[in-house]
Amino acid sequence: MTEEPADRLTRKRARTAWVFLAPMLVVLALVAAWPLLRTIWLGLTDANLLRLDQSKWIGLDNFTGKYGLLHDKVWWHAVKNTLWFTFLTVTIETTLGMVIALVLTKTFPGRALVRAAVLVPWAIPTVVSAKMWSWMLNDQFGIINHALLSLGVIDSPKAWTADPSLLMTSVVIVDVWKTTPFMALLILAALQMLPTECYEAARIDGVHPIKVFFKVTLPLIRPALMVAMIFRALDAIRIFDLIYVLTGTRESTMTMSIYARQQLIEFQQVGYGSAASTLLFFIVALLTVIYVVVGRVKLGGD
Amino acid sequence: MPALTVRSVVRKVLFYALVLAIVGFAVFPFYYAILSSLKTGSELFSVDYFPVKWNFGNYVGVFRDNPFATNLWNSLIVAVVTVAVSLFLGVTAAYALARIRFRGRGLLLMTILGVSMFPQIAVLSGMYQLIRALGLYNNLGALVLSYMIFTLPFTVWVLTTFMRELPKELEEAAILDGASPWVIVTRVFMPLMGPALVTTGLLAFIAAWNEFLFALTFTLTNEERTVPVGIALMSGASAHELPWGNIMAASVIVTLPLVLLVLIFQRRIVSGLTAGAVKG
Amino acid sequence: MANPKPSADPSVCISLAGVGKHYGKTKVLEDINLEIKTDEFCVFVGPSGCGKSTLLRMIAGLESITSGDLFIDGKRMNEVEPSQRGIAMVFQSYALYPHMTVYDNMAFGLKLNKLPKTEADKRIREAARMLKIEPLLERLPKELSGGQRQRVAIGRAITRHAKIFLFDEPLSNLDAALRVSMRGELSRLRKQLQTTMVYVTHDQVEAMTMADRLVVLHAGHIEQVGSPLEVYHRPRTLFAAGFLGSPRMNFLRGEVASTSAAGVTIKLADGTTVDAKVSSDGVTVGQKVTVGVRPEHMRITTGTGPRQATVQLVEDLGDHSIMHLESAASEDRLLAKVESAPAGEGDKVTFELPPEECHVFDAGERALPRLDRGA
């Protein structure tokens, strides 16, 4: 016999494993696998919310056809918005998160309170955050306009949630406020895993702290930092809640998710909307693969 | 030992100024929301940085003018049931993934994690059809079911990581005592997994409580709406006038317990979050 | 080669026939043939990695048997569930359920087997009495010391009223003093319980003092099976000879110079010869062999003699001394165990290798049979 005897004990154990996995897998298949496949399939039809059972197969028409996504200006605007939003938020949040994390590595009286305070934005439900900031950014009664006016930074109240040129800024500010704590925590965890000998050696050598940061700290946490940034980017690309509540379906901040939902629910274009969703999925999937590869390579490479 | 030089004093002042700025930036919006919630009527039209008078009218108004109590109740039910179901499915799956070697185990774990990367919108249409087919439209059950898509991946992941650490000899002693896998999971392992269960339970609770898109899409009437949707849809007398006082009051009501929860369990939550991301 | 199913011989409790274990290409155990007698205290001893724990766990059913058969009381047990084999096991790390009291720890298995509460309670209190842990019954494991935890682990095994007790290095996690006292306790228990016991250890003192029979394992094979004194005085392989005895047996390489009915004469590296009272059957002149002499059998004098050595170091342990000797007879240092050292560092001494205490091993590391003491 050339094959390894798969003895009864091992086989029995494997069977038990699958029995235990079954409930979770069934639910996951129901909730993730099937709907995803269904969405992809719907994207290849002309399905309409009002007459779902009369959908016809139209192949890649939703994508490449005359009225398909690739020719839709609004779609491309949404793509651009999403990518720009992602870029802005990830870079700002990483930078600010780094600053906060560095502050939190130092021991000072009240550090625990500061850490707790920093967690507050993360704890607040997204919708509530959006509403709170909507109120603060209100053009007539908002405190932001009031403060900026009294400081002389602006000369007239700005319509933060209405003026198309300001919408992206508003949205980025709120997201930065909400998500920087998360980045700060991830970076803090990475910083705390660093060996302290490097710092002590640098201090003895009398190296300036800023130099220490760029030449010692940053390279050492680069792998974890990359992972955190990609993680964050994947979240940003999928964003819906915050922007929808803050600016609705305004085109200048419409993200791919909002575009897809608008098509699906408001315009009842289930086929078209599903096609947009599918595209978004594949973009995220591609980036996830990069995430896995980068994560593995970094961990194996050093 | 360090000399009290001008430079070191300036450095300290700058540092604490930075700390203050960070804390202020983080906490101010919430503080302002509380402030605004205590103002009624025309008081809202003036901007104040500090509380002038305390008026709880908005807190009454929130419940009077909106089905807010129903929203809160719905959110609570959905969150609690979601946590219970997630933990049950998570613990059983974690046992298989953490304690039994079988072919395809690694790949399966990666796939489950991969599900957490799905854009919610990508499953929306499919999910919608499923919900209708199961007769769960405009029913809280639809929410509990759909929330599994984001609670299961990290629940399974964190519980698996935790279960891996439990000593093998403990399991073997139980096997020799005649314990079936189910007994091992429930009577031997679960009592030892308190911290992990609390962490994943909390994260699942917060995620369910927070969720907006599915709640918005799968519920139709006010009786079934959850808090995020309730707050987002709060409208005033006219189409363009939002009842900011009520909205701020609602925000505070919803946020205060969450903030307290998070502050009490911050260590647990932080370790649960970072376990997935940083360690990859 | 299938071994015939052994008859239900009541004196044999556990029987291993051609048992082996391998993971893919790695062979952990090979061709283990062993019969453990009923009520015997059998010790598996060997260096780490030799497979002794794996063998124990295969008997328990915690590891699968890749080849060969395991019989308990004449019945084939390869596929039988661990809890159905009539065994109880004591683990190295005690494996007590941390969230249960001592009482519940001991009751757990009994409850699962649906033993009536009164009977279970009786057994638990009986075991607690035997192990003197009655005052600890309501405590949690984390409140107990290492020695107490070990007793609870043993107590848990006792309540099962099993026919076979398996011990997986139970004393390794205890400190030296505790180990000595627990050894005595286990021996006492053994007399009280009268069951078959299989005990795994890497500590030769435990092996020598507690075993009825020793099974010396090395790299997945059985080197020798026998009573402790038998293995000590008549080791069958070089490994077994070197494993038991502290300090280790001295090994000197040599060549067979001549043979006779009275023994074999071997020429050593320094040119001297030594007569060994071993059988000369199959021995050829010029054959390469290894001579083994235990440190306590080395005779050291300050006079002159053919075998010379220089004292490198003397370790004085109070009741005896160990002399480290450098000589041309061997590349390695020779160790001699004496009551008091006749010479000091740097001095020259003469050492003698008594013929009746010489062990001879051939190129295959097998011992040549001794001529005296009934071989």
> B100-146, pLDDT tens digit by residue?
888 888 889 888 988 988 999 999 888 888 898 898 888 899 999 99
What's the confidence (pLDDT) of residue A222? 84
Yes or no, beta carbons of A9 and C24 under 8 Å apart: no
Residue C248 tokens, joined = 């280790």
Any CB–CB contact under 8 A between B280 and chain C?
no
Cβ neighbours around A299 below 10 Å, total: 13
Any CB–CB contact under 8 A between C64 and chain A?
yes
In chain A, the residue whose alpha carbon lies closest to the alpha carbon of B127 is: A35
What's the confidence (pLDDT) of residue B280? 37
Q: How far is A127 from chain B (nearest CA, A)?
A: 6
In chain C, the residue whose alpha carbon lies closest to the alpha carbon of B189 is: C97
Residue C126 has pLDDT above 70, yes or no: yes
Residue C156 and residue C171: Cα distance in Å, rounded? 16
Report chain C residues whose CB lies below 8 A from the CB of B191.
Answer: 99
Any CB–CB contact under 8 A between A10 and chain C?
yes
Report chain A residues whose CB lies below 8 A from the CB of B255.
Answer: 123-125, 128
How does the average pLDDT of chain B come out, rounded? Answer: 86
What's the confidence (pLDDT) of residue B90? 95
CB C74 within 8 A of CB C8: yes
Report chain B residues whose CB lies below 8 A from the CB of C109.
Answer: 176-178
Report chain A residues whose CB lies below 8 A from the CB of C61.
Answer: 9
Report chain A residues whose CB lies below 8 A from the CB of C65.
Answer: 7
Yes or no, beta carbons of C62 and B175 under 8 Å apart: yes
Residue A296 tokens, joined = 């593995």
Q: Is residue C198 very low, low, confident or very high in pLDDT (cuts 50, 70, 90)?
A: very high
Report chain A residues whose CB lies below 8 A from the CB of B130.
Answer: 30, 34-35, 38
pTM score, whole prediction: 0.84
Yes or no, beta carbons of A119 and B110 under 8 Å apart: no
What's the confidence (pLDDT) of residue A138? 83
Residue B29 and residue B58: Cα distance in Å, rounded? 18
pLDDT in tens, C263-320: 889 999 888 889 888 888 888 888 899 999 999 999 998 888 888 899 999 999 999 9
Residue A62 has pLDDT above 90, yes or no: no
Yes or no, beta carbons of B95 and A20 under 8 Å apart: yes
Best mean pLDDT range from A9-13, B72-76, B247-251, B266-270? B72-76
At position A233, the amino acid (one-letter code) is A
Q: Is residue A152 very low, low, confident or very high in pLDDT (cuts 50, 70, 90)?
A: confident
Largest interatomic CA distance in chain C: 78
User: Considering only A228-237, C100-109, C132-141, which range has the smallest mean pLDDT?
Assistant: A228-237
Please count the residue pairs, one from chain B and one from chain C, whose beta carbons lie less than 8 angstroms apart. Answer: 50
Residue A217 has pLDDT above 50, yes or no: yes
Q: Is residue B239 very low, low, confident or very high in pLDDT (cuts 50, 70, 90)?
A: low
pLDDT in tens, C213-237: 999 999 999 999 999 999 999 999 9
Residue B21 and residue B41: Cα distance in Å, rounded? 32
User: Considering only A135-144, C106-115, C144-153, C284-293, which range has the smallest mean pLDDT?
Assistant: A135-144
Any CB–CB contact under 8 A between C92 and chain B?
yes
Q: Is residue A297 very low, low, confident or very high in pLDDT (cuts 50, 70, 90)?
A: low
Start-end of H helices in chain B:
6-37, 57-65, 68-99, 105-115, 120-133, 140-164, 168-176, 181-183, 194-210, 213-218, 227-232, 244-264, 266-277
Residue B117 tokens, joined = 């990367």
Yes or no, beta carbons of A7 and C66 under 8 Å apart: yes
pLDDT in tens, C147-168: 899 999 999 999 999 999 999 9
Interface test mutation site (partner B, options A82, A113, A127, max chain B beta carbons within 10 A)? A127
Q: Is residue A97 very low, low, confident or very high in pLDDT (cuts 50, 70, 90)?
A: very high
Three state DSSP letters for chain C: CCCCCCCCCCCEEEEEEEEEEEECCEEEEEEEEEEEECCCEEEEECCCCCCHHHHHHHHHCCCCCCEEEEEECCEECCCCCHHHCCEEEECCCCCCCCCCCHHHHHHHHHHHCCCCHHHHHHHHHHHHHHHCCHHHCCCCHHHCCHHHHHHHHHHHHHHCCCCEEEEECCCCCCCHHHHHHHHHHHHHHHHHHCCEEEEEECCHHHHHHHCCEEEEEECCEEEEEECHHHHHHCCCEHHHHHHCCCCCCEEEEEEEEEEECCEEEEEECCCCEEEECECCCCCCCCCEEEEEECHHHCEEECCCCCCEEEEEEEEECCCCEEEEEEECCCCCCEEEEECCCCCCCCCEEEEECCHHHCEEECCCCEECCECCCCC
pLDDT in tens, A272-293: 888 999 999 999 998 888 877 7
Report chain C residues whose CB lies below 8 A from the CB of B174.
Answer: 97, 108
Any CB–CB contact under 8 A between C81 and chain A?
no
Yes or no, beta carbons of C60 and B188 under 8 Å apart: no
Yes or no, beta carbons of B270 and A182 under 8 Å apart: no
Task: Mark which residues 160-199 of A lie under 8 Å from C by CB.
Answer: none
Closest CA to C342 of C311, C363, C366: C311
Report chain C residues whose CB lies below 8 A from the CB of B170.
Answer: 95, 97
Predicted complex: ipTM over 0.85: no
- Mean pLDDT along residues C169-183: 89
With a CB cutoff of 8 Å and minimum separation 6, the contacts of B257 are none
Q: Helix (H, G, I), strand (E, B), or coil: what is residue B230?
A: helix
CB A273 within 8 A of CB A261: yes
Q: Is residue B236 very low, low, confident or very high in pLDDT (cuts 50, 70, 90)?
A: low
Q: How far is A21 from chain C (nearest CA, A)?
A: 23
Residue C243 and residue C231: Cα distance in Å, rounded? 10
User: Considering only A84-93, B126-135, C37-46, which range has the smallest mean pLDDT?
Assistant: B126-135
Residue B80 and residue B86: Cα distance in Å, rounded? 10
Query: What is the gyration radius of the CA atoms in chain A, in angstroms?
Result: 25
Yes or no, beta carbons of B169 and C83 under 8 Å apart: no
Residue A151 and residue C156: Cα distance in Å, rounded? 77
DSSP B256: H
Task: Mark which residues 30-69 of A lie under 8 Å from B by CB.
Answer: 30-32, 34-39, 42, 47, 52
When CB atoms are compared, the residue of B169, B183, B187 closest to C91 is: B169
Residue A65 tokens, joined = 């056809």
Residue C6 has pLDDT above 70, yes or no: no
Residue C360 tokens, joined = 């001879």
Element holding B180 (H helix, E strand):
none
CB B29 within 8 A of CB A133: yes
Report chain A residues whose CB lies below 8 A from the CB of B29.
Answer: 121, 129, 132-133, 136, 177
What's the confidence (pLDDT) of residue B208? 93
Q: How far is A114 from chain B (nearest CA, A)?
A: 6
pLDDT in tens, C308-340: 899 999 999 999 999 999 998 888 899 999 998
Closest CA to C36 of C58, C17, C14, C56: C14
Sign of CA dihedral C65, C68, C69, C70: negative
Closest CA to C213 of C41, C13, C91, C357: C41
What's the confidence (pLDDT) of residue A2? 36
